[in-house]
């Protein structure tokens, strides 16, 4: 199968993990992410700290294709440099600018190793973005935030999908988060969903949207 033939929304079902018996068979190849989805999902759900969702493949016995968790979050501007704060607020009217903006944290995202190369990660991420900007969404959500693994391929995946670094450098992020380790395990990244939505609309109409 070619990557452009795999349509996640048409081929797969969007389910909650309580409806999915195959979650223990899921593996994205990262031990920390696999452990979270195998062992920790239930505790996070019980403590109301995250909700987890999966896409399953009915053609393969409801095998898990991708899985992700979401939590409420916010971006607080008082920890940001002036440059980042200005970039973050550039598209927000002055009257609406605040010290804290509503966000959703994409806590974990994994694609089963058997479905690599089919664009599943990007399609899953696009699904989350559409979901958070849908008119029926029950809460305001200006930004989608992720603590991306500090690995070149992962960071490129998010930048290719419209995310930017919340802090311009590891040193800056280390200071803001008060972390002592010499190399950060994750980098905080964000996507402005308002701009993303405008670009999607502009793409359909042929217009050009810039910040």
Token pair recorded at residue 207: 């217009």
Question: Is 127 a domain residue?
Answer: yes
171 domain residue, yes or no: yes
pLDDT digits (tens, 9 = 90+) for 1-40: 455 578 999 999 999 876 555 688 899 999 999 999 999 9
Burial 99-113 (b: 16+ CB within 10 A, else e): eebebbbbbbbbbbe
Phi-psi region of 29 (alpha: psi -120 to 50; beta: other; left: phi over 0): left
Which of 102-111, 136-145, 197-206 comes out lowest in average pLDDT?
197-206
Domain with 46, as residue range(s), is: 3-205
Q: Tell which residue, 62, 56, 64, 3, has the closest CA to residue 38.
A: 64
Domain CATH code at residue 19? 3.40.630.30
What does the DSSP 8-state code read for residue 94? G
Tell whether the model's pLDDT for residue 120 goes beyond 60.
yes
- Interval 186-192 mean pLDDT: 96
Rg of the Cα atoms in the chain: 18
Q: Which residues pair with 143 in a beta bridge?
A: 103, 192
pLDDT at res. 21? 56
Answer whether residue 211 is part of any domain. no
Whether 163 is in a domain gets the answer yes
Q: Per-residue pLDDT tens for 134-167?
A: 999 888 999 999 999 999 999 999 999 999 999 9
Residue 188 domain-assigned (yes or no): yes
Is 118 a domain residue? yes
pLDDT of residue 14: 92
Regarding pTM above 0.85, the answer is: yes
Domain total of the chain: 1
Direct distance between the N- and C-terminal alpha carbons of the chain, in angstroms, rounded to an integer: 38
In a domain? residue 32: yes
Residue identified by tokens 């993303």 is 196
Q: Please, what is the average pLDDT of the chain?
A: 89
pLDDT score recorded for residue 19? 54
| 210 in a structural domain | no
The DSSP secondary-structure symbol of 168 reads S
Higher-confidence residue: 131 or 205? 131
């Amino acid at each position: 199968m070619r990557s452009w033939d795999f349509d996640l929304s048409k081929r797969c079902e969007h389910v909650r993990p309580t409806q999915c018996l195959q979650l223990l068979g899921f593996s994205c190849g990262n031990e920390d992410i696999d452990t979270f989805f195998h062992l920790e999902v239930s505790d996070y759900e019980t403590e109301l700290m995250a909700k987890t969702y999966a896409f399953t493949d009915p053609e393969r016995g409801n095998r898990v294709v991708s899985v992700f968790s979401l939590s409420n979050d916010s971006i607080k501007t008082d920890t940001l440099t002036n440059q980042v704060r200005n970039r973050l607020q550039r598209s927000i009217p002055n009257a609406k600018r605040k010290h804290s903006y509503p966000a959703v944290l994409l806590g974990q995202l994994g694609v089963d190793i058997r479905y690599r190369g089919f664009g599943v990660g990007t399609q899953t991420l696009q699904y989350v973005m559409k979901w958070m900007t849908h008119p029926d969404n029950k809460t305001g959500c200006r930004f989608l935030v992720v603590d991306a693994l500090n690995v070149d391929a992962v960071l490129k995946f998010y930048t290719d999908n419209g995310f930017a670094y919340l802090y311009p450098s590891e040193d800056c992020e280390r200071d803001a988060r008060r972390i002592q380790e010499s190399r950060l395990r994750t980098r905080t990244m964000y996507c402005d969903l308002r701009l993303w939505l405008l670009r999607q609309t502009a793409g359909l109409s042929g217009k050009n949207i810039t910040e």
